[in-house]
């Protein structure tokens, strides 16, 4: 069995919940543990903890893409340097409620 990976996300974010549902469906190793922001203070980032290492923003997304075996998407995303990935991540994070809505 794979080591458990904690994924902290914003439960009020519709986009975040869509991503969590996709990840749950594709977590063949059953290694992802999803923890909503009611348990931790999360503002504009997803946090992934694998072992003793904490990943945020696009690095966290990369870990999730690997864990759910989205190899092609992982390769495409990683064509871009980290600073560019994080710029896109920050833009989406800032406007996610406006674009995708909020769950109450």
Whole-model pTM above 0.85?
Answer: yes
In total, how many domains does the chain have? Answer: 1
Give CA–CA dist 8/42, Å, rounded.
Answer: 8
For residue 18, the model assigns a pLDDT of 95
Q: Which two tokens stand for residue 87?
A: 């710029």
Residue with tokens 């991503």: 19
Would you call 13 helix, strand, or coil by DSSP? strand
Percent of the chain with pLDDT over 90: 82
Q: Is the pLDDT of residue 1 over 60?
A: no
Give the domain extent around 27: 5-100
For residue 40, the model assigns a pLDDT of 64
Distances (CA, A) of 33 to 41, 83, 97: 17, 27, 24
């Amino acid at each position: 069995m794979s080591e458990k990976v904690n994924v902290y996300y914003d439960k009020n974010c519709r986009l975040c919940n869509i991503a969590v549902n996709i990840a749950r469906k594709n977590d063949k190793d059953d290694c992802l543990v999803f923890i909503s922001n009611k348990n931790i203070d999360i503002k504009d980032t997803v946090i992934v903890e694998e072992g003793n290492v904490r990943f945020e923003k696009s690095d966290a997304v990369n870990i999730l893409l690997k864990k759910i075996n989205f190899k092609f998407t992982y390769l495409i995303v990683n064509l871009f340097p980290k600073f560019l990935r994080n710029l896109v991540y920050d833009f989406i994070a800032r406007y996610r409620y406006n674009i995708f809505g909020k769950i109450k």
